[in-house]
Amino acid sequence: MLLFRFLRSIIRQGSLTVIDARGQPHRFGAETDGVRAVTIRLTDPALEWKLGLHPGLYAGEAYMDGTLQMVDGSLYNFIDLVTRNAGFSHLGPAGAFAQRIGVGVQRVIQQRNPLDRSRRNVAHHYDLSLQFYDLFLDADRQYSCAYFPRPGMSLDQAQEAKKRHIAAKLLLKPGLRVLDIGCGWGGMALTLAKLADIQVTGITLSKEQLTVARARAEVAGLSDRVRFELCDYREVPGRFDRIVSVGMFEHVGVPQYSTYFTRVRDLLTDDGVALLHAIGRSEGPGTTNPWIRKYIFPGGYSPALSEVTPAIERTGLWLTDMEIWRLHYAETLRHWRERFLARRDEAKALYDERFCRMWEFYLVGAECAFRYQGHMVFQMQLARDIGAVPLARDYMLVDEKRIAHNQIRAA
């Protein structure tokens, strides 16, 4: 059986037992300290060939449909076991085939994101109910990687730390004009405006996020300095002293990278500074997991740095600083997963059981991708002028501490 040959070849740490649709158990691997033994049941005979051929797609669908059931252990235990054994390898024959031929093909088909497709892709994910996102996000609704410089930090503390870290890299000072590309529900733009007497323009393609962001600016009394627009980065007029983009670049697509960085260059003033915060992959160019692409982020792709830096170089922008965050997103996703599961019944009331299974699979799979499969977050600081930022990085730490001190005093 294809599935059982596949599992026999990869399970080296931990024990996995699969109960097939006929009720027969099949065990793979051996119990290992620190790795939870897991038992699953398959209720559909077709899964024995589907999962053997293309587990990257069919495992998620089977869990959503309830034909892949957890008998002993949680979904997290199961995906943790499989991904820590699989590592960077592509699961199943279909996954390996897609990697061999798909890197070039996906540039044209999967990642081509003209304006109309970009709007549809954003609506698919970000126009879900705000009540739903409030079930698991922090108080400021930061839907991107948090920053955990100290152990034991709460999600809210880590998201505040992330915003301070970014603000320090932006070298804020009164009077600046700032553009926030992919502003979400407005948390970053509002935070930056509170930290300095600046003008911020936030852009999004999500109508739901736009409504919320504008309402938040009004409540905060910042509508005179922070405005939000339904706009694509390719359509923004004017020039800005600072540009920040957090968690949006994953939706651009490799074919549009030259366009994206050319726009950043053209939108920056001569002495301007930009900060890009995005998910990347450490193992080189790849393909988006097919289940994630189908159900969660259509058109999305987390790039290798080797795919990003050439586009920057062609624009003449200076890469003045780069930082790699490794397990920070794994910890962020752990918090989101635990918070989501604690309020799962509320999510089910908003949507349904199949949706909850889909979201749990997404959060678990994403967390394990950052733990075992080479995903990370990178922050790139960019400038048009070689002297736009200080020559040493010390200023970041100094400014970050200053911001934290001022926030404590103001609280």
CA nearest 357: which of 24, 42, 75, 22? 75
What is the pTM assigned to this prediction?
Answer: 0.93
In tens, the pLDDT along 350-403 reads: 999 999 999 999 999 999 999 999 999 999 999 999 999 999 999 999 999 999
- At residue 371, what is the residue type? R
pLDDT at 69 over 80: yes
Distance CA 149, CA 153 (A): 8
Token pair listed for 390: 């200080």
Phi-psi map region of 225: left, alpha, beta (phi>0 left; psi -120 to 50 alpha): alpha
Helix (H) or strand (E) holding 76: helix 75-86
Token pair listed for 399: 């400014």
2-86 and 115-410 in the same fold: no
Token pair listed for 126: 């970000």
In tens, the pLDDT along 294-309 reads: 999 888 999 999 999 9
- At residue 215, what is the residue type? A
CA nearest 138: which of 183, 211, 187? 187
Residue range 39-63: mean pLDDT, rounded? 96
Is-contact 255 107, C-beta < 8 A? yes
Binned at pLDDT 50, 70 and 90, residue 122 comes out as low
Distance CA 214, CA 199 (A): 15
Q: What is the DSSP string of 267-329?
A: HEEEEEEEEEEEEEESSSS----HHHHHHT-TT----BHHHHHHHHHHHT-EEEEEEEE-THH
**Would you kindly state where each structural domain of the chain is located, as residue ranges?**
2-86, 115-410
Mean pLDDT, rounded, of the chain: 92
Count of C-beta atoms within a 10 Å radius of residue 410: 7
**What fold characterizes domain 2-86?**
Nonspecific Lipid-transfer Protein; Chain A (3.30.1050)
Q: What is the pLDDT of residue 406?
A: 86
Q: State in words which class domain 115-410 has.
A: alpha beta
In tens, the pLDDT along 266-288 reads: 999 999 999 999 999 999 998 89
Binned at pLDDT 50, 70 and 90, residue 114 comes out as low
Is-contact 254 284, C-beta < 8 A? no
- At residue 378, what is the residue type? F
In tens, the pLDDT along 180-230 reads: 999 999 999 999 999 999 999 999 999 999 999 999 999 999 999 999 999
